[in-house]
C-alpha cells in the first residue's frame, strides 16, 4: 500500500527562504569566516592551518585583541584557542545606527592531523594575528633513507661465492 503525501508549496518556500537566509548570513554578516557556534553565544574566529616537513603552523585573526587576553591549550592533537572580545561602554545600545563588529566569547577547537609536540609550541601575536608554530612529533617527520647501491653484502662478508 502506497502512502499519499500532500504537496505543500508554502512549506517548500519556507525551507528555501530559511536556506537563503543562512546563505546570506554566512556570506555577508559573518565576514572572513567568523561564525557562531554552540547555540549562538560563542563565535569562532577564522584560522589558517598548514604544515611543513617539521611543524604545523596555525594562524588566527583576532583583531583588537591583546596577547594576554588569549588562552591557548593543547591536549594531544587537539588545539583550543579562547578569549573574549570586549565591547566599549562609551556608546549605548540604542545609539547605534549599525553594529557589525562582533563582541563576546570566542573559542576555536582544531584537531591537528598529525602528532605534535605541544610543549614545544611557539606562539607570537602581532597586529591582531596569532601565529602558532607547533613542532611535529619525531616519529611523524619525514625521514631520508640512504640507498646502498652496487654493494653486495654477501660478497663483502666473505660468505658469497
Tell me what pLDDT residue 92 has: 76
Confidence at 44, pLDDT banded by 50, 70, 90: confident
Q: Any idea where the domains of the chain sit in the sequence?
A: 34-87+103-143
- The full 3-state SS of the chain, as one line of letters, equals CCCCCCCCHHHHHHHHHHHHHHHHHHHHHCHHHCEEEHHHCEEECCEEEEECCCEEEEEEECCCCCHHHEEEEEECCEEEEEEEECCCCCCCHHHCCCCCCCCEEEEEEEECCCCECHHHCEEEEECCEEEEEEEECHHHCCCCCCCCCCCCHHHHCCCCC
Per-residue pLDDT reduced to its tens digit, 65-94: 889 999 999 999 999 999 988 877 777 778
- The pTM of the full predicted model, rounded to 2 decimals, is 0.63
CATH class for domain 34-87+103-143?
A: mainly beta
**pLDDT band, residue 95 (cuts 50/70/90):** confident
pLDDT at 94: 80
**pLDDT, tens digit, 9 for 90 and up, residues 135-160:** 999 887 777 888 888 766 555 555 55
Share the mean pLDDT of the chain. 79
Amino acid at each position: 500500500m502506497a502512502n499519499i503525501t500532500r504537496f505543500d508549496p508554502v512549506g517548500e518556500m519556507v525551507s528555501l527562504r530559511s536556506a537563503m537566509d543562512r546563505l546570506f548570513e554566512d556570506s555577508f554578516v559573518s565576514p572572513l569566516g567568523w561564525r557562531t557556534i554552540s547555540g549562538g553565544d560563542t563565535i569562532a574566529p577564522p584560522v589558517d592551518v598548514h604544515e611543513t616537513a617539521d611543524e604545523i603552523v596555525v594562524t588566527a585573526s583576532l583583531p583588537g585583541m591583546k596577547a594576554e587576553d588569549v588562552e591557548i591549550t593543547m591536549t594531544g592533537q587537539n588545539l583550543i584557542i579562547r578569549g573574549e572580545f570586549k565591547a566599549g561602554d562609551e556608546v549605548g545600545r540604542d545609539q547605534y545606527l549599525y553594529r557589525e563588529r562582533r563582541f563576546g566569547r570566542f573559542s576555536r577547537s582544531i584537531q591537528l592531523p598529525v602528532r605534535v609536540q605541544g610543549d614545544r609550541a611557539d606562539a607570537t601575536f602581532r597586529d591582531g594575528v596569532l601565529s602558532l608554530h607547533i613542532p611535529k612529533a619525531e616519529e611523524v617527520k619525514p625521514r631520508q633513507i640512504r640507498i646502498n647501491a652496487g654493494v653486495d653484502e654477501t660478497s663483502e662478508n666473505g660468505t658469497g661465492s
